[in-house]
Amino acid sequence: MTRASESLKFALITAVYFVLLSGVLPLPSKLQDEVLPVLPLWAIVTLGAYLLFKLGYGVFSFNDVPEAHKELMKQIEQAKTDLRRRGVTVD
């Protein structure tokens, strides 16, 4: 998805939300007064929970990817070698 289409989608969702929140389209009063005002906060909390789950699962399953583990260990050794060459003490 391109940056322009992402921006357009965000603008469209925001416009629909503000149209619903302003009451231009008739909605049940309970939905209008209790659900719509907290919808952005709910979306942020839900997104945060999803991203924390993805991060936790990625950390949990990191050892299940031996190629990535080997590549990371190789990069760490290269960094240590480079730092030692520059005079930094590395354990």
pLDDT at 5: 93
First CA to last CA across the chain, in angstroms? 44
Could you report the per-residue pLDDT of 30-61, keeping only the tens digit for each? 999 999 999 999 999 999 999 999 999 988 88
What's the token pair of residue 43?
A: 């979306």
- Residues contacting 83, CB < 8 A, separation 6+: 90
**Residue for token pair 């007064």:** 33
Domain ranges of the chain: 3-60, 63-91
Place 65 in a pLDDT band, splitting at 50, 70 and 90.
Answer: confident
Whether residue 63 has pLDDT greater than 80: no
